[in-house]
């Protein structure tokens, strides 16, 4: 028996647009650019929150932002992130590459073992799909930590 699924174009557009925030075509050159963006434009995501929030920044072929998606809002010490949700948004958004970004409500941007593990999973998934993970930035009150700056990406 063969199963077929049909999804109307209007429903697909709703899925594509949900959770998406339009942004100016800001070009990302360094992790400092991402941190400055996070502490200004994205402060609604990260400013003074008591829960972790994991976002992705979709980039075009010239490293210009196309959209920002909130993937997960967690609790005080963690946020559940699944590669399926990250790459669904990236594929629907026609992203060439991604920047991962989340906050640590404790204020300390130090990496946790879970941060390292999810980054490895997302990089592996991106390699399969042809969507490069350029960086993972962790934001805290005392600054930020960049996986790319540490040479891990």
In tens, the pLDDT along 49-60 reads 678 889 999 999
Question: Is 50 a member of any domain?
Answer: yes
- Domain membership of residue 151 (yes or no) is no
The percent of residues above 90 in pLDDT, for the chain, comes to 39
Write 142-147 long-range contacts (CB < 8 A, 24+): 142/107, 142/108, 142/109, 143/35, 143/109, 144/31, 144/34, 144/35, 144/38, 144/109, 145/109, 145/110, 145/111, 146/31, 146/34, 146/35, 147/119
Give the torsion sign (CA, 50, 56, 57, 63). Answer: positive
Q: Residue 8's pLDDT band (boundaries 50, 70, 90)?
A: very low
Element (H, E) at 136: strand 132-140
pTM: predicted TM-score of the whole model, two decimal places:
0.77
Q: What is the pLDDT of residue 91?
A: 95
Domain range for 64 is 21-146
Is 60 within the bounds of a domain?
A: yes
């Amino acid at each position: 028996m063969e199963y077929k699924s049909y999804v109307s174009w209007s429903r697909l557009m709703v899925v594509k647009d949900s959770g998406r925030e339009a942004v100016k075509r800001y070009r990302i050159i360094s992790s400092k650019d991402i941190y400055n963006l996070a502490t200004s434009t994205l402060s609604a995501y990260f400013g003074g929150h008591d829960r972790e929030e994991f976002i992705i920044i979709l980039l075009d072929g010239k490293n210009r932002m196309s959209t920002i998606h909130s993937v997960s809002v967690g609790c005080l010490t963690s946020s559940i992130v699944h590669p399926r949700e990250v790459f669904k948004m990236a594929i629907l958004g026609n992203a060439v590459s991604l920047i991962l970004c989340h906050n640590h409500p404790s204020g300390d941007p130090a990496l946790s073992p879970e941060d390292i593990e999810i980054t490895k999973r997302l990089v592996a998934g991106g390699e399969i799909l042809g969507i490069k993970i350029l960086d993972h930035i962790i934001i805290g009150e005392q600054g930020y930590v960049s996986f790319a700056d540490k040479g891990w990406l």
